[in-house]
Structure formats: structure tokens, C-alpha cells
Amino acid sequence: MKILFYRYGSICEPDIIDGFCELGNEVVTITEEIYNKKLLPSEGVALLNEALQKASYDFVFSINFYPFISEVCNIFQIRYLCWTVDSPVMELYSDSIRNPWNRIFLFDRAQYNEFSRYNPSCIFHLPLASNPTRWKKVISSATDDDISRFSGDISFVGSLYTEKCPYDRLKKEPGYLTGYLEGIMAAQLKVYGYNFLEEILPDSIVEEFRNSLEGFYTPPTGFRRNDRATMAQLYLGAKVTAMERLWLMQTLGSKYSVDLYTASDTTGLPVHNRGLAKTLTEMPLIFHFSKINLNPTAKSIRTGLPLRLFDVLACEGFLLTNYQSELTDYFTPGQDLECYTGEDDLLSKAEYYLTHENDRKEIAHNGYLALEKYHSYPERLLQMISLAYGLDEI
């Protein structure tokens, strides 16, 4: 197959290109948005139109959903395959998801359940993957200095979300609204495997929050409006994520040595802020040489498994993750990875695996084998293409 890949710079794009090529496909890329983040949809339409006029492709592909790509593909009557890696993806509220030439793959089952009804035969659930071959090359080339630099007891690579939490724009004196929201967020913080924020937001609270927040998200023309979902996922989800990650760093950092690779402000936290890690050359070394890698899943990912989880396992790293309801569909806790369901569980498992090296290494190896066998990009992309072409011709 010949594939036109519209890129914006997601960290998984090179691995997906490699995966398509490993399956024997040819990939041509449009890369302007990687270097120009202010690229307008109209400019993207022109680029896509030009590419489709010049050559014939079996399908167009992107990470996350682009309404303008969907519209162009609908005109050209060519399949548009896309795969979400983020949540929320606000573009999914576009009416364009109804187009018959879409083949939309959503990594989070809750995301799938929310949107599949708008185009049941063209929207699918598909978990994420990783590229163990790429990471193995990096790890095998590590120098003694690399190993010393990136070895540690407990590590986390990622944002604390404190710098990208739009909930904090709320302009409201303490009262019923803030009390209600702080109460339900504190409750959600203690519950793993079930996200209930959206279902317990009454209309009156949604309306008051929308009116009190500076710059509440307003969908463009051609998008469905769902203020409750927007509030729960875009605002409250980000705030609970920030709360959990601060709690996690404080709880573990006060007892153990924690290395945090981030650009977030860590003032007052008992952690070692190592700054940003380079995705392709440093991140795999951190995942492999740390005794414990943390994965606190962003709360806007309601049921699914984030890319970090797959990448840690692909680097044969030991993973301690929060519990997600989809976790046991693909991995076995205690065999392929470990998960925590609360503070006591977190601390006891951190203590155990820091002091039981053989168990830790065995689990990391099992996780690597499971990832390599079932969750590599060629394996996942083969599933994607099979689903996309298993439908009746339009």
C-alpha cells in the first residue's frame, strides 16, 4: 500500500512510519505542521489537496483526528485512518466524524463508547503500542556514563500538569461551586479504574462553571457542543491529574529517592528535578535503568492505557502504574507490571520492589516479552488495516 501520512510531530510518528514500512508499505509524509504550529486548516487543506492530486494513495493517516483531513478525504473518496493517542481530543466533537470514508481508531474504550454511536461502522477501539526494536538499539549502546546518569530508584518522565491546568483560570470566590468541585475532585483522586466526574455534574454546576471560567472552551462551527464532557475532561481531569502527581511526588519523595524528568515547577517537592529528557535517546535509558518507573495516567484518559506504559515495557523497564480498567485486558499485574490502588498499596509495593531485585527484573522481562509479542507497532497496525478494510466497499 501507498500511505500519505499527515504529521504534526507526535513522539510516536517515527515508530508508526517504521511499522508501516516493516509491513511492506510505502509512506509519504506531509511535515509542514511539525515546523509551523500556526499552520491554518486551510493551509493544511491546500497541502493535502496538492499531494492527492499528484499521486494515488491507498489511504491518508494521522495521529489524532483532523476534521479538514476527513473532509478532503471524503471529497476524494479515499479512506482516512487516524489513531488517537491523547484524551480529550476536542476535534472528535466535529460533525466530520460522521463522514463515511473515516476509519477512526480510539485508544481509550471510554472515548470509543462516547463517539462510536455517531459513525458505528467507521469508529473502532484500538490500544496503543511501542517499538521495542528501536529502544533496544539505544539501550544496547549505553555507555558507563549513561548507565550511571540514568540509574535511579524511582523515576517519572512527564509533566506534573501544574503548568497546563486550565481549571486554575476559575475566577470565583470560595463558595458552593468551588466546594462542590473540590469535593468531587478529592473523591476522584482516591478512586482508580472508574472515572465518575462527568456523570455527577448537574446542569446548574456546569452552567455556573462555564460562566465563571475565563475562556471556557467554545467549539467552532460544525462541532457539537458538550459542555459537561468538556468541563469533566478538559478542566477537572487536568486538575485531578495535577493533584495526583503532586501527591505522588510528595508521598514517594519523602521516603525514597525520586528522579523527575520534567519542565514543571518542582519547588517544595522532595524530588530530584533532572529537567527534560530527550525522547529518542534518553527516555529509553531512564525506563530501562531505573528500578521503578511510575505511570500516573492522566485522568482524562478514563479507561485506556497511555503511551508511556507501553514504552516502559518496551524498554524492559519495571513499571508501577495506577490501575486502569483496561489494564487486565492486555497485561497481568504482578507478572508483566505492577499497579497501585491507593497510598498504602503504593508505598508497600515501592518498598517491596526496591528491595527485591530478582522479582523486579523478572516482571520487567515478562512485560517486555508480552509487549514484543502482542503490542508492537507492526502487530497493531496490521490490526488497524484489517479493521479498516474489513468493511464493505463504499
- Does 243 have pLDDT greater than 80? yes
Coil, strand or helix at 63: strand
Tell me the CA distances in angstroms from 163 to 85, 242, 295, 312, one per residue in order: 21, 9, 19, 24
What pLDDT does residue 214 have? Answer: 87
pLDDT digits (tens, 9 = 90+) for 133-169: 999 999 999 999 999 999 999 999 999 999 989 999 9
Contact 321, 337 (CB under 8 A): yes
Report the amino acid identity of residue 8: Y
- Does 132 have pLDDT greater than 70? yes
Contact 250, 210 (CB under 8 A): no
Whether 2-129+377-389 shares its CATH topology with 132-375 is answered yes
Extract the C-alpha cell encoding 323.
Answer: 490501575
Domain ranges of the chain: 2-129+377-389, 132-375
What pLDDT does residue 164 have? Answer: 86
Report the amino acid identity of residue 374: Y
What pLDDT does residue 194 have? Answer: 92
- Does 209 have pLDDT greater than 90? yes
| Bridge partner residues of 334 (DSSP) | none
pLDDT digits (tens, 9 = 90+) for 32-82: 999 999 999 999 999 999 999 999 999 999 999 999 999 999 999 999 999
Long-range contacts of the stretch 14-19 (C-beta < 8 A, 24+): 14/134, 14/280, 15/129, 15/130, 15/131, 15/134, 15/377, 16/61, 16/63, 16/83, 16/377, 16/381, 18/131, 18/134, 18/377, 19/129, 19/131, 19/376, 19/377, 19/378, 19/380, 19/381
What pLDDT does residue 171 have? Answer: 81
- Banded pLDDT at 392 (limits 50, 70, 90): very low
- Banded pLDDT at 393 (limits 50, 70, 90): very low
What CATH number belongs to 2-129+377-389?
3.40.50.2000
Q: Taking the model in full, what pTM does it have?
A: 0.95
Indicate the helix (H) or strand (E) that contains 176: helix 176-189
- Banded pLDDT at 114 (limits 50, 70, 90): very high
Q: Is the CATH number 3.40.50.620 carried by domain 132-375?
A: no
pLDDT digits (tens, 9 = 90+) for 290-307: 999 999 999 999 999 999
Q: What is the CA radius of gyration of the chain?
A: 21
Contact 138, 281 (CB under 8 A): yes
| Bridge partner residues of 293 (DSSP) | 155, 319
| Mean pLDDT, the chain, integer | 96
Q: What percentage of residues in the chain have a pLDDT greater than 90?
A: 96
- Does 394 have pLDDT greater than 50? no
User: For residues 164 and 14, which has the higher predicted lDDT (pLDDT)?
Assistant: 14
What pLDDT does residue 297 have? Answer: 97
Contact 116, 92 (CB under 8 A): no
Phi, psi angle pair for 224, to nearest 5°: -80, 140
Looking at residues 210-225, what average pLDDT do you find?
A: 93
First-residue to last-residue Cα distance in the chain? 18
Extract the C-alpha cell encoding 223.
Answer: 462541532
- Does 330 have pLDDT greater than 80? yes
Contact 314, 289 (CB under 8 A): no
Closest CA to 111 of 141, 85, 137: 85
Measure the CA–CA gap between 387 and 382, rounded to whole angstroms: 9
Q: What percentage of residues in the chain have a pLDDT greater than 70?
A: 99
DSSP letters, 68-137, are HHHHHHHHHT-EEEEE--SS--GGGGBGGGG-TTEEEEESSHHHHHHHGGGSTTTEEE----B-HHHHHH
pLDDT digits (tens, 9 = 90+) for 247-280: 999 999 999 999 999 999 999 999 999 999 999 9
Strand locations in the chain, DSSP E? 2-6, 26-30, 59-63, 79-83, 102-106, 123-125, 152-157, 258-261, 272-273, 290-295, 319-322, 338-340
